[in-house]
Amino acid sequence: MSATTHPADCQSFGDRCLSDEELQRLLREDCPYGDLTTTLLEIGAKPGRMTFATRHETVLCCTEEAARLLELLGCTVTALQPSGTLLPAGRKFLVVEGEAGRLHLGWKTALNLLEAASGIATRTHALVAEARAASPAIEVVATRKVFPGTKAVAIKAVYAGDGLPHRLGLSESVLVFAQHTVFLKSTQALWARLPEMKRRAKEKKIGVEVTDRDSALAAAHAAADLIQIDKMNPEELLELVPLLREAAPQAVVAAAGGINDKNAREYAQAGVDLLVTSAMYWGKPADIAVSMEALTV
Amino acid sequence: MSATTHPADCQSFGDRCLSDEELQRLLREDCPYGDLTTTLLEIGAKPGRMTFATRHETVLCCTEEAARLLELLGCTVTALQPSGTLLPAGRKFLVVEGEAGRLHLGWKTALNLLEAASGIATRTHALVAEARAASPAIEVVATRKVFPGTKAVAIKAVYAGDGLPHRLGLSESVLVFAQHTVFLKSTQALWARLPEMKRRAKEKKIGVEVTDRDSALAAAHAAADLIQIDKMNPEELLELVPLLREAAPQAVVAAAGGINDKNAREYAQAGVDLLVTSAMYWGKPADIAVSMEALTV
Amino acid sequence: MSATTHPADCQSFGDRCLSDEELQRLLREDCPYGDLTTTLLEIGAKPGRMTFATRHETVLCCTEEAARLLELLGCTVTALQPSGTLLPAGRKFLVVEGEAGRLHLGWKTALNLLEAASGIATRTHALVAEARAASPAIEVVATRKVFPGTKAVAIKAVYAGDGLPHRLGLSESVLVFAQHTVFLKSTQALWARLPEMKRRAKEKKIGVEVTDRDSALAAAHAAADLIQIDKMNPEELLELVPLLREAAPQAVVAAAGGINDKNAREYAQAGVDLLVTSAMYWGKPADIAVSMEALTV
Amino acid sequence: MSATTHPADCQSFGDRCLSDEELQRLLREDCPYGDLTTTLLEIGAKPGRMTFATRHETVLCCTEEAARLLELLGCTVTALQPSGTLLPAGRKFLVVEGEAGRLHLGWKTALNLLEAASGIATRTHALVAEARAASPAIEVVATRKVFPGTKAVAIKAVYAGDGLPHRLGLSESVLVFAQHTVFLKSTQALWARLPEMKRRAKEKKIGVEVTDRDSALAAAHAAADLIQIDKMNPEELLELVPLLREAAPQAVVAAAGGINDKNAREYAQAGVDLLVTSAMYWGKPADIAVSMEALTV
Amino acid sequence: MSATTHPADCQSFGDRCLSDEELQRLLREDCPYGDLTTTLLEIGAKPGRMTFATRHETVLCCTEEAARLLELLGCTVTALQPSGTLLPAGRKFLVVEGEAGRLHLGWKTALNLLEAASGIATRTHALVAEARAASPAIEVVATRKVFPGTKAVAIKAVYAGDGLPHRLGLSESVLVFAQHTVFLKSTQALWARLPEMKRRAKEKKIGVEVTDRDSALAAAHAAADLIQIDKMNPEELLELVPLLREAAPQAVVAAAGGINDKNAREYAQAGVDLLVTSAMYWGKPADIAVSMEALTV
Amino acid sequence: MSATTHPADCQSFGDRCLSDEELQRLLREDCPYGDLTTTLLEIGAKPGRMTFATRHETVLCCTEEAARLLELLGCTVTALQPSGTLLPAGRKFLVVEGEAGRLHLGWKTALNLLEAASGIATRTHALVAEARAASPAIEVVATRKVFPGTKAVAIKAVYAGDGLPHRLGLSESVLVFAQHTVFLKSTQALWARLPEMKRRAKEKKIGVEVTDRDSALAAAHAAADLIQIDKMNPEELLELVPLLREAAPQAVVAAAGGINDKNAREYAQAGVDLLVTSAMYWGKPADIAVSMEALTV
């Protein structure tokens, strides 16, 4: 097993997906006006070391952000594994030194970030592994159904786990849902409109979501670039895909709706090009151990 | 079953936990530069109605925020159930009307918010129900282990589900962990220091987290106001609690670490005052149906 | 000539591309601490009317934002033409009433916004008209070379002028430049890598920018989805395009580099599918007249 | 005594100096995650009325902001006196109605803002009254020594109390201090440089701060537009001013340094044009009474 | 007298209460578009040194923030005393070197911050000293009546002066005022409700503010954890406290309302546990001398 | 020709006009969720060098901001020319080294900023050169008609090109337009009011904009400090200026309206003190070459 599943090194801020300002907003969220416990204990100035280690097999994510957060507090990072690293249980991956007051200021915020992001990365990795076990060229793409406000972390974690984002939002891709078609005269009107949409948005693949066999075939005949089939079971899909390949050899066929690590392999076996899912976003955070030790000066 | 589990009507911005600016930041996250699909379909100006309904028993949360988000887009809210309402499956709770372009701009962002928040509220409600089935006066309090950046929504959802927040952060409460004690000369030094901490922070209850029986009893003898027992199993706890009550009748006793809807009742039976957990934060979002229909002008 | 070139009604915030907060930041930029002139003149409370009108043929843009900005100041909008409206010279399109102090607070900020945005929209409209005169199915797409910080306004204006955005940024599209290839072993290595890139990013069209005939043909043979030809003159392009069509009938062919309203028609005649340009962003703002009149109470 | 000392109606956001976003930031500062007391009391939904009234003679300031803050919470404003109004003790000036939970959310934040701003306005008013008692044409101008982060409120309050701002910052005015001259070869070098400074910054008055008679006269001879005399006592100033008038009839002469409501009259008698002071910024907040009453539905 | 009254080393951002972004916002508030004076003098590039020194006995606060602000401008800090240090008059505590243009950019903003914060810290220190002279175990706690927008600085300053914050806001503590009780059926209803409030908010001390002897005793009998007595004079308080101790030995008794450095000792003698006051927030800023000198290259 | 036209070294943030946060907002605008192209090419970690060079004679601006932006991404700046440097075509002025992924993240954003700002600086320089060729003591001042949201960059560029800002906004200067006068009883009322305005705003020069000879002379007789003459042609101006000098020797006379690099010399010859223009803001960005090369490790 490769130690690194994905480099994830082209993030928005170099190797990070959160700016200093965003990290400091997270710090303030947890500690708006000083740390009362550490202050009352009068341990703030004592030197210490804080170590983060895996408790399970984990694809790391947001180690760079956690490290930077602790640097912003005045700590020194002495060891760091990059996002995308796959580690077995029990491995140290982030070690920082600094005054006890500073370590405690960052502890939980860094941990929460690492656990949330690594949880998504690890689940993405599992989904990809399941899908590729059945279909090596398949891609698992993550929907935009993130917890509102967490998109930068979520997408970095998807990359770290070797997935890719599906749509990033409404401005950069075209995907027609039934909720759009309801405003047309008929579904037929959509097929009639596709050529004009393709003419205008020449740089984009035009996608259509369908939920049944007839619509899927209609989309194929109408030359949709992406046919996204929602909530169809793997068996039906297995029958449908060859028909779509015949009708539209160039079209990308995607399965969506309820895909998770239990059924990803089965969906992959149905022969689709893409699995579209939000399953990686939701689940338990990665379990990460933190130990703290006092250093003698 | 009462229709409303908790009023949740004293949020930071009236009945909302997110300001207009925060809602607009979420909109921009999904649609930074216009909706390409709706624009290409030329359906933007057509009048429509969008309806949100439960698919399962759900404690609603962030309906006010979703409604406001759609109002900010120029839509009109025609029906709305407040956060904290417990609904069975299949009930409509938010209906908005407006131009198709505006409905589509807000659809997924509103839905993601509703599903994430209602998921937390519903899980909180289940945890509370489990715990109170065994111990009617018990409280379930939610930790600060939220997905970084989601605290306002998460805490509103905890209230909506009839839980309460544990600590909101480092600035407003005192809770001593082993990670603090490591910077003292010994655990004994902590007990020796408690009186001074209590003297200074007279308006606060001084809490100590312990992981074994001896420390718990030491904390009780040292007059800690809150004894938080981490990762002890319910059987051990059942034995320990009476000893603590005897040693420190005024102390609040809390169980923490791995508490979830499967074991909450058992922990409650152990006689503690509080269950401290993050289990409500993590899990699948509530499943909410959205339907869209065209209106004739 | 149709009065409206493009509805532009699916912007990020309903019909607007700027949130209230962003509009108030613009106001503060111009008036951080009160209007000294109006205060010294003691005219602040007098009722008035402010009227915006075209001085030339203009495609309007950001009228909704200007109107909202003035509403935020407490003025009342009594007439408003939407973004995307093409008006001849001398037409009123925005009328607001309010106290003189409020009108003066918003005057220049609203005007600057209207003139900057309508300038881009009008130039986009001219580019599209030129290009379509030669090639009715062609699209003019606007690059990401905006004045940093003005992207939301610039892209809305492109839509208002009947153009479309090219790439919105690095996260949502794939376009390989020579500046990327320099990090591969050779240009040949890029062609060898294309299939893997297409396999991974199945929902995207993979674009390559080339600057000469041989590279363009190599891109076509390598099955690039988008071949963007930079800084080639129209004559050479006219010869090249049929060869590309033969080699890669499905590929989208775009011309880029130095395209403007003087040469757009000629480039369009060369038979390309797309003109990629920043010419609409740079040039004089639209010239808009503002008149102010006192109202009797 | 006129009821209104200054209209203050040309503020940055119409009649307000704080945007909605800024008001909501203040609310969040006080109530980040719901109001625990009101929630536990279960009084949130009860209708009520909150009334603000003066306890002393007060020049009101930020009533518009306080009212807006309460509106943002969903309350209804039923009575409001504008900023700049001078009221005797015991007068109601702001009345709002709404649910008890919403009134309590805004109570202290609105009150703190009103008391801080009205304190500055009332002290400004007193300073102006003192100065004008001796010299009717004199102006009291407020320095930029505000509590960092409070400038918008502070400057609005200065206007409300009939003062004017001195400099708003470094970008818009020219004032040479000894701390600048130390980087020139000599003080003489400053006088030699003044003509060039006046040539370049033709739209500005060039000011020089001096601390003794000789420098003041040198500044006058060098044609400084503004001679600001720091920390000279009124007696010396009384002697110096006529000499300055003779040397430079057009120059504005200002006294600065330690001017307050005790000595403002004396300084004014010294014949200067301006009193430059920060005395209005620092002192007790205005004392404002708030009463709350329950309404029957 | 100890040189340091309080370490204040566990602030939100390590040793600082303001993030880089917040410091840069303060800089922009004073200098949005370049320093006109320094530019016209053409002294910007000359090397210099700026020294801050006390003019009176002062408890320093926000030296770390002032130093960082100057570092952000490109200056080098060569000497720095931490927040919480008590210095006699005439002591240098912050020395920075850099180009004259950069020193001047930061001079007043750094100074305003230091003076405002050190003023609060010094007054807090005086209040604590007065109170402890009479009652060594007493605490002085600072209310939330800060100048809106200055809370982070104000609370750091309270810590620096050896006080503690009272409530940080509405979300983290429970304090019932008469303004709450008005929404209950009667005051009696409050006492009846206390047990339920204590049951729910087990981790909090439940506080009640009262203004007379009978209510105070009622609160004690109702087992309120904190009895806050508002605006009672020290003599009455002296009589009341023993009765409260008898009725409720565990209750914390606080005096509030009009407490300042003149009467703090007297209030402390009345035997209360806490003095609750805003007196430290309001008053003159600390007087700090700044000297600037040119350095030879 | 001097290599540096203006030091521009007293910007808001030291040598920069944009804070780290603002630079990171620009980065996020272009790359919200990772760079898809570089990721798919798997070149992110390869070391490289990026070089920026002029293609024409250029006054550089925002090199400091571009360099900082690339530093924030983790790149190392190895060569840098300051803002205000005048370079001939073909000169390198900014060289950075770093991983390919980081260079590509910053490439276009840095370039867009450099080109937009240097375009303004170069045009300002040309305007000043033209004007001073005719009138060596004249100043070219830039209006507030910037593209909304770009003021900090625009004003830095004006300084870099040896111009000065005219008004920075409404709060810091007094300039009466016809749009103000309409709220007075008559133009005459303005002249009657001027003395009171001058009395109050003693530190400011009071400006009046006029559009014809009679009003200009009226303004001179009324002792306006600044007479701004809008849209008068140079010939008329040449006649008018001596009359104004006679009527008001101290008044500053400015020409405004339609002044650009074609007519600046002619306007300067008319004898005015100031040219007020927005011509520098609008036009093509500077053309800057970027080359990228791979480095061997």
Name every chain E residue with its beta carbon within 8 A of the beta carbon of A32. Answer: 12, 152, 168
Q: Which of A4, A6, A12 best tests the F interface by mutation, with the highest count of F CBs <10 A?
A: A12
Q: How far is CA B295 from CA A176, B49, B98, D77, in A?
A: 19, 7, 9, 37
Name every chain D residue with its beta carbon within 8 A of the beta carbon of B17. Answer: 33-34
Mean pLDDT for B50-76 is: 98
Tell me the nearest-neighbour CA distance from F16 into chain A, angstroms.
Answer: 18
Residue type at B228 in one-letter notation = Q
Percentages (nearest 5) of helix, strand, coil residues in chain C: 40, 25, 35
* Gap between the Cα atoms of F250 and F50, Å rounded: 53
* Gap between the Cα atoms of F135 and F272, Å rounded: 9
With tokens 């109408």, the residue in question is A222
pLDDT tens digits, E60-78: 999 999 999 999 999 999 9
Residue B158 above 50 pLDDT? yes
For residue E66, the Cα-to-chain-centroid distance in whole angstroms is 17
pLDDT band at D296 (very low <50, low <70, confident <90, very high): confident
Given an 8 Å threshold on Cβ–Cβ distance, is C10 in contact with B104? yes
Q: Which of D30, D33, D39, D99 best tests the B interface by mutation, with the highest count of B CBs <10 A?
A: D33
Residue A245 above 90 pLDDT? yes
pLDDT tens digits, D108-117: 999 999 999 9
Tell me the nearest-neighbour CA distance from A142 into chain B, angstroms.
Answer: 14
Given an 8 Å threshold on Cβ–Cβ distance, is B164 in contact with E201? yes
Chains touching chain B, criterion 3+ CB pairs below 8 Å: A, C, D, E
* Gap between the Cα atoms of B152 and B98, Å rounded: 28
Phi and psi at D66, nearest 5°, equal: -65, -40
pLDDT band at D10 (very low <50, low <70, confident <90, very high): confident
Residue D1 above 90 pLDDT? no
Tell me the nearest-neighbour CA distance from E152 into chain F, angstroms.
Answer: 20
Given an 8 Å threshold on Cβ–Cβ distance, is C199 in contact with A137? yes
pLDDT band at C98 (very low <50, low <70, confident <90, very high): very high
Chain F residues with at least one Cβ partner in E under 8 Å: 7-15, 17, 19-21, 151-152, 155-156, 159, 165, 168
Residue A297 above 90 pLDDT? no
| H or E segment to which residue E255 belongs | strand E252-256
Annotate D246-285 with b (16+ C-beta within 10 A) or e (fewer).
ebbeebbbbbbbebbbebbbbbbbbbbbbbbbbbbbbbbb
Tell me the nearest-neighbour CA distance from B120 into chain A, angstroms.
Answer: 11
Instruction: Return the bridge partners of F208, or none.
Output: F176, F227
Alpha helices in A31-99 (DSSP H): 36-41, 63-72
pLDDT tens digits, C200-216: 999 999 999 999 999 99
Instruction: Return the bridge partners of F76, or none.
Output: F97
Residue type at C163 in one-letter notation = G
Q: What is the mean pLDDT of chain E?
A: 95
Q: DSSP strand E in B67-148: where? A: 76-80, 86-87, 92-99, 139-142
pLDDT band at D38 (very low <50, low <70, confident <90, very high): very high
Residue E80 class from Cβ within 10 Å (0-12 exposed, 13-18 middle, 19+ buried)? middle
What confidence score (pLDDT) does residue F2 get? 41
Q: Which of F2, F4, F9 best tests the E interface by mutation, with the highest count of E CBs <10 A?
A: F9
Chain E residues with at least one Cβ partner in F under 8 Å: 20-21, 24, 27-28, 31-35, 38-39, 42, 44-45, 72-74, 99, 101-102, 104-105
pTM to 2 decimal places:
0.96
DSSP letter, residue B286: P
Name every chain C residue with its beta carbon within 8 A of the beta carbon of D165. Answer: 33
Q: Which of F18, F39, F68, F103 best tests the A interface by mutation, with the highest count of A CBs <10 A?
A: F39
pLDDT tens digits, F129-154: 999 999 999 999 999 999 999 999 99
Tell me the nearest-neighbour CA distance from D114 into chain E, angstroms.
Answer: 10
Query: Which candidate from E34, E45, E72 shows the least CB-CB separation from F155?
Result: E34
Tell me the nearest-neighbour CA distance from D164 into chain C, angstroms.
Answer: 9
Name every chain D residue with its beta carbon within 8 A of the beta carbon of F204. Answer: 205
Given an 8 Å threshold on Cβ–Cβ distance, is F201 in contact with D172? no
pLDDT tens digits, D219-247: 999 999 999 999 999 999 999 999 999 99
Mean pLDDT for D145-170 is: 96
Given an 8 Å threshold on Cβ–Cβ distance, is E14 in contact with A38? no
Tell me the nearest-neighbour CA distance from D184 into chain C, angstroms.
Answer: 33
What confidence score (pLDDT) does residue F8 get? 53
Given an 8 Å threshold on Cβ–Cβ distance, is F11 in contact with E34? yes
Tell me which chain F residue has its CA closest to the CA of residue A14. Answer: F73
pLDDT tens digits, E173-217: 999 999 999 999 998 999 999 999 999 999 999 999 999 999 999
Residue E209 class from Cβ within 10 Å (0-12 exposed, 13-18 middle, 19+ buried)? buried
What confidence score (pLDDT) does residue C68 get? 98
Tell me which chain D residue has its CA closest to the CA of residue C75. Answer: D14
Residue E57 above 60 pLDDT? yes
Contact F145, F278 (CB under 8 A): yes
Name every chain E residue with its beta carbon within 8 A of the beta carbon of A29. Answer: none
Annotate C22-38 with b (16+ C-beta within 10 A) or e (fewer).
bbbebbbbbbbbbbbbb
Mean pLDDT for F40-63 is: 97
Name every chain B residue with its beta carbon within 8 A of the beta carbon of A170. Answer: 30-31, 34-38, 104-105
Tell me the nearest-neighbour CA distance from A29 into chain E, angstroms.
Answer: 9
Mean pLDDT for A243-266 is: 97
Name every chain C residue with its beta carbon within 8 A of the beta carbon of A141. Answer: 203
What confidence score (pLDDT) does residue A115 get? 98
pLDDT band at C296 (very low <50, low <70, confident <90, very high): confident
Task: Please list, in sequence order, all residues whose beta carbon lies within 8 angstroms of the beta carbon of residue B135, skipping any fewer than 6 positions away.
Answer: B268, B269, B271
Number of residues that this document lists for chain C: 297
Given an 8 Å threshold on Cβ–Cβ distance, is D14 in contact with C73? yes
Given an 8 Å threshold on Cβ–Cβ distance, is F45 in contact with A7? yes
Tell me the nearest-neighbour CA distance from A164 into chain B, angstroms.
Answer: 17
Name every chain B residue with its beta carbon within 8 A of the beta carbon of C19. Answer: 20-21, 24, 28
pLDDT tens digits, C115-154: 999 999 999 999 999 999 999 999 999 999 999 999 999 9
* Gap between the Cα atoms of C174 and C202, Å rounded: 11
* Gap between the Cα atoms of A180 and B192, Å rounded: 68
Q: Say what the ipTM of the complex is.
A: 0.95
pLDDT tens digits, D75-132: 999 999 999 999 999 999 999 999 999 999 999 999 999 999 999 999 999 999 999 9
